[in-house]
């Protein structure tokens, strides 16, 4: 039995964003603070957090999928 498990491969989209320099500095600080290794992981986790907490968005998604 393998000691490590492989993660399922997930397709990713590449995006380019422009954000204020002070926000980028805070993101880098947060990466160091949290131990998150990549900006991609930060944005993925932050997005999933917002999606899970925003009740209005959840309602919007339900209506869109109906």
Residue 3 token pair: 């000691």
Mean per-residue pLDDT, 45-55: 95
Tell me, yes or no, if the pTM score tops 0.85: no
Per the domain annotation, does 29 fall within a domain?
yes
pLDDT one-digit tens code per residue, 15-37? 999 999 999 999 999 999 999 99
Report d(CA 30, CA 54) in Å as an integer. 22
1 pLDDT more than 80:
no
Containing structural domain, residue 30: 21-65
* Number of domains, the chain: 1
CA angle 9, 11, 14 (to 5 degrees): 135
Task: Work out the pLDDT band at 39, boundaries 50, 70, 90.
Answer: very high
The Cβ of residue 54 has, within 10 Å, a number of other Cβ atoms equal to: 12
58 in any annotated domain = yes
Tell me whether residue 31 is in a domain: yes
pLDDT of residue 9: 84
């Amino acid at each position: 039995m393998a000691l490590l498990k492989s993660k399922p491969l997930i397709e990713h989209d590449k995006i380019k964003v422009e954000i204020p320099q002070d926000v980028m500095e805070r993101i880098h600080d947060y990466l160091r603070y949290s131990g998150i290794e990549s900006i991609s992981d930060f944005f993925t986790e932050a997005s999933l957090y917002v999606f899970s907490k925003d009740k209005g968005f959840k309602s919007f998604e339900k209506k869109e999928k109906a």
